[in-house]
C-alpha cells in the first residue's frame, strides 16, 4: 500500500540533506541563486559589506601589515553607512590612538567568532595620545563615524555578519 505521508517525509528529508551537503547552494537547475557568497582572500563577503543589526555597512579593508600601518590616515571623514575594517591574523588586545585622525570616531572590537567584544564611542582627535584597548582579544577592529554604534544600537555580544 502506498503511504503518501511517508514518501513525502522521505522526499523532504532528501532535499534537506542535499541542500546541507551543497553548502547552502541551490540545486543545479537554479544556477544563479546562491545563499553562499564567494569570499575574498581576506575572508570577507563581496563587496566588502558587513551587516550589523540588519543594517549594511560598506567597509574599506586593511588586511596587510602595510595597509594596517597606513590605516585610514588621509581620510577627511567616514560617511554614514561606511567604515574601515582592520583584519588581523590572530586575535589579540590590539590598541589604538587617534594620532593624525581629524574627525571623531567609534571603535568596535570584534572577536574571532564575529561577536562584538568591546566598543569605544565618540572618540575625538583631542584624546591623543590616550590609547584605547579592548577588554577581550579581537581579530577585527571596525572604525565607524562617531555616533554610528548608537545608531546601530550596537552592544557587546552582537553578531557582525559578513566576516
pLDDT per position as a tens digit, 29-83: 433 333 333 344 444 444 588 999 999 999 989 888 888 888 877 788 889 999 9
The Cα 83–Cα 152 span in angstroms is 13
| Best CA proximity match to 20, nearest among 31, 32, 8, 36 | 36
The Cα 105–Cα 120 span in angstroms is 9
Distances (CA, A) of 3 to 6, 7, 8, 9: 6, 7, 9, 10
Q: Is the pTM of this model over 0.85?
A: no
Res 25 pLDDT > 50: no
Give the pLDDT score at 145.
95
Q: Grid coordinates standing for 30?
A: 537554479
Give the pLDDT score at 71.
83
Amino acid at each position: 500500500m502506498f503511504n503518501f505521508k511517508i514518501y513525502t517525509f522521505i522526499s523532504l528529508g532528501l532535499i534537506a540533506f542535499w541542500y546541507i551537503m551543497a553548502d547552502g547552494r541551490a540545486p543545479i537547475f537554479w544556477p544563479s541563486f546562491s545563499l553562499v557568497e564567494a569570499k575574498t582572500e581576506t575572508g570577507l563577503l563581496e563587496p566588502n559589506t558587513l551587516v550589523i543589526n540588519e543594517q549594511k555597512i560598506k567597509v574599506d579593508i586593511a588586511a596587510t601589515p602595510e595597509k594596517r600601518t597606513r590605516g585610514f590616515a588621509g581620510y577627511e571623514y567616514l560617511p554614514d553607512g561606511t567604515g574601515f575594517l582592520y583584519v588581523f591574523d590572530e586575535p589579540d588586545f590590539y590598541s589604538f590612538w587617534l594620532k593624525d585622525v581629524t574627525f571623531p570616531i567609534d571603535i568596535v572590537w570584534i572577536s574571532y567568532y564575529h561577536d562584538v567584544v568591546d566598543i569605544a564611542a565618540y572618540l575625538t582627535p583631542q584624546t591623543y595620545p590616550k590609547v584605547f584597548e579592548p577588554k577581550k582579544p579581537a581579530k577585527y577592529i571596525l572604525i565607524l563615524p562617531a555616533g554610528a554604534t548608537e545608531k546601530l544600537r550596537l552592544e557587546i555580544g552582537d553578531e557582525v555578519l559578513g566576516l
